[in-house]
Structure 1
Amino acid sequence: MAESQPAQSRAAESVGQRWVPLVGLLALVVWGHAPLLAILAERWWHDPQYSHGPLVPLFSLYLLWRQREEAEAWWGPPRWGAALGLLVAVLLLRAVAGRLLFHQLDAVALQLSLAAVVLGCGGWCLLRRSAAAIGFLIFMVPLPYELERNVGEPLKVAATVGSTFLLQTLGQPALRDGHIILMGEVRLGVVDACSGLKMLVTFAAFSVGAVLLLRRSRFEKLMVLLGIIPIAIVSNIVRITATGLSHVYVRDPRLLDFLHDFHGWLMMPIGLGLLALELWVLRNLVVEETAEYLREPLLPTGLRPLASGGTAGKHGSETSGE
C-alpha cells in the first residue's frame, strides 16, 4: 500500500503535466478564433444547408472519446519545432483570410492551430490519434460561394433530368424545359434550394463519419465515399418526383406546402437507407481472407497435408515426400 500511493501520485502528476498544458492551449486557440466561430454559428443558425454544423465538433470529440482506453499510448515526445512552423503558416493564412474576407481559409488556419498545439504537446503520436477528429471539423465550414454556385448548377441539371425521366416512367406526361418540369398544367421549377446541395453536404458528413467509425476494409470504405454524390442525387430525384406527383393529385395549397416540406425532410432518411443498403451489399460482396485460409496450401482435390510432410489420398494411403 505504501508503494502504490507514490505510484498513483506520480501517475496523477504525469496526467496533469500532459493534459493541463494541452487543454489550456486549446482553449487559447478557441479564444483566438472566436470571431470566426461566431460567424460560423450565425450561419448554422440561419442557413438550413449547414444546420448540421453544431454536431460536427461533438462528433470530433466523440472520435477522441472512443479512444480513451488507449490514452497512455497517445503521447510521444513534444515536437515544438514542427509546431512553431505550423503556427507561422497559421499567421500567414489568417493574414490572407483577413485581407480577402475569406472565412474558409480562416477555418483551415483553425485546424492547423489545433494540429500545432497537439504536435507541441504530444508529438506525432498524439497528432496521429487526433488527425481524424481535427480533419472532420472541415464539415462545419460553409462552402465558398463560387463553389456552391458551380456545384449547384450541375446538381440542378441532374435532378431535373432524373426527375423528368422518373415521372415519365410513372406514366406522367413530363417534359423538361431548362430547370422546369412541365406536366400538363403543372409547372414544377427546380430552383437553387432544390438542387440537393444541402443534402450532399450533410450526407457527406454522415458518410465520412460512418467511414471513420465502421471497421470495414479499405475497399468498402472507398465505395462508401464514392457513393456520396450518387446517393445524394438519387435522394433528391425521389424528393422532386414525389413533389411533382403531389402537385398532380393534390389541390389543397396548405397540404401541398406540408408535403413539400415533408418530402424535403425525407431526403436524409432515404439517403441513410441507401447507405445502409450499400453497406449490406458490400458486406455480402466482399469476403475477407482469414489467416488460416492464407496459410492453408492449395492441394489437388482429395489430398490433405500430413504432419510428416507427405500427403494422404481419399482412402488414407500415404506417400512420403522425397
Structure 2
Amino acid sequence: MDPQSARKPLFLAAFVALSALVWAYWGTLVDICVRWVDDPQYSHGFFVPVFSGYLLWRRREHLWANDFRPRWWGLGAVLVGTGLRFVGHVFYQPWIDPTSLIIVLFGLAATAGGRRAVVWSGPAILFLAFTVPLPYRVQMMLGGTLQRVATLTSTYALQTLGVPAVAEGNVILLSETTLGIVEACNGLSMLVTFFALATGVAILAKRSLVERVAIVASAVPIAVIANVARITLTGVLFEANQGEWARAVFHDFAGLLMMPLAIALLLGELFILKRSLIPVASDAPA
C-alpha cells in the first residue's frame, strides 16, 4: 500500500483531535483574538498562526518519514497541559490557558506521529508562544525597565547632539518644554512585535546556530534603539520649534518610523554576520 494512503486514517484522527481541541479552547481562542484587536502590544498576533501554518507546509517532507508512527507517550503531555489549564483557572492566571494549549499541541503531535511528528511540528508550535500574553508582573517589570532605559538613553543622545536635556524620573526636561516617557512609550509593544519578527527570520534563514541565536538576541537592543531614535527625533524637533511635527512623530508616526528602522538594522546585522562568520571547510575528501 502507498505510504501516503496508509496514513490517511492517521490524518483523519489528527483532524478529529484538532477539531475537539478547537472546541475545548474556543473561549480562549476568542479572548486571544479580541486582545489582538484591542491591545497594540499584540497586534502582530494575526501573523503568528499564519506563519506557523507556513512552517508546517515548508517542513512537510517530515510527514513521509518511516518513523512517523503513533506513540502513546504523547498522551502524558496532553494530560500535563490539561492539568496546567486547570491550575490557571483555579488561580486565575489568564496567560496559563494559552500556554497549556501549546503543551497539548505537542502532546497531540507526539501521540499522532511520535518523535518525527514533534520534529515536523515543533518550530510551528513553539512560534505560537508569541500569542501568549505576558504575565502582568512580567509586563510591568519589563515596561518599567524599558521606560527608564529609553529615558536615560534618549537624554544622552540629545545631549550628544547638543540639545540641552536633563532626565528627571521618566521625564526629559528640554529648554522650553518637557518630554514625558509614559508607559505607552516604553517600547514594549515594539519589542514584542519585533522579537516575533526576528525569531521568524532566524527560523527561515539558512544560517548557523550561532547566527540564529544572535539574530533572536539582537531583537531587544534593536527595538530599544528604534524607540530611542523616535524619542530623540521628537526632542530635536521640539528644540527646533517644530512642535506640531514633534507631536506627530511622537504619537502618529511612531509605528511607521520605528519598524522600518528596526528592519533596516536587522538587515544590516544579517549582512555583517554573513561577512564576519566564515564556515570552516572540511578536510575530508568529497
TM-score range (shorter-chain normalised) is over 0.9
Is 1:134 equivalent to 2:110 in the alignment? no
The partner residue of 2:53 within 57, 61, 74 is 61
Aligned equivalents of 1:33, 1:74: Cα separation in 2: 32
Structure of greater Rg = 1
Contact 1:243 1:263 in 2 (8 A): no
The partner residue of 2:168 within 165, 168, 177 is 177
Is 1:99 equivalent to 2:96 in the alignment? no
Q: Which structure 1 segments of 5+ residues have no match? A: 1-6, 297-322
- Alignment match, 1:25: 17
- Alignment match, 2:192: 201
Aligned equivalents of 1:266, 1:277: Cα separation in 2: 17
Residue 103 of structure 1: SS of its match in structure 2?
Answer: coil
Aligned equivalents of 2:8, 2:284: Cα separation in 1: 47
- Counterpart of 2:237 in structure 1: which amino acid? S
Greater shift, 85-94 or 43-52, is seen at 85-94
Aligned equivalents of 2:190, 2:45: Cα separation in 1: 13
Name the % identity.
Answer: 37
Residue 181 of structure 1: SS of its match in structure 2?
Answer: strand
The partner residue of 1:234 within 220, 225, 231 is 225
The partner residue of 2:249 within 259, 273, 287 is 259
Contact 1:239 1:264 in 2 (8 A): no
RMSD, aligned CA:
1.8
Is 1:36 equivalent to 2:36 in the alignment? no
Q: TM-score, normalised on structure 1? A: 0.83
Is 1:161 equivalent to 2:158 in the alignment? no
Contact 1:163 1:237 in 2 (8 A): yes
TM-superposed deviation, 1:270: 1.0
Contact 1:156 1:195 in 2 (8 A): yes
- Counterpart of 1:22 in structure 2: which amino acid? A
Aligned equivalents of 2:33, 2:25: Cα separation in 1: 12
Is 1:147 equivalent to 2:138 in the alignment? yes
- Alignment match, 2:110: 119
- Counterpart of 1:17 in structure 2: which amino acid? P
TM-superposed deviation, 1:146: 0.8
TM-superposed deviation, 1:169: 1.2
Q: Which structure 2 segments of 5+ residues have no match? A: none
Is 1:190 equivalent to 2:181 in the alignment? yes
Aligned equivalents of 1:187, 1:264: Cα separation in 2: 22
Aligned equivalents of 1:25, 1:137: Cα separation in 2: 18
Is 1:49 equivalent to 2:56 in the alignment? no
- Counterpart of 1:122 in structure 2: which amino acid? G
TM-superposed deviation, 1:290: 2.2
Aligned equivalents of 1:140, 1:241: Cα separation in 2: 31
Aligned equivalents of 1:264, 1:167: Cα separation in 2: 21
- Counterpart of 1:132 in structure 2: which amino acid? P
- Number of aligned residue pairs: give it: 284
Q: TM-score, normalised on structure 2? A: 0.94
The partner residue of 1:14 within 6, 15, 19 is 6
- Counterpart of 1:13 in structure 2: which amino acid? S
TM-superposed deviation, 1:197: 0.5
Relative CO higher for 1 or 2, CA cutoff 8 Å, sep ≥ 6? 2
Is 1:89 equivalent to 2:80 in the alignment? yes
- Alignment match, 2:69: 77
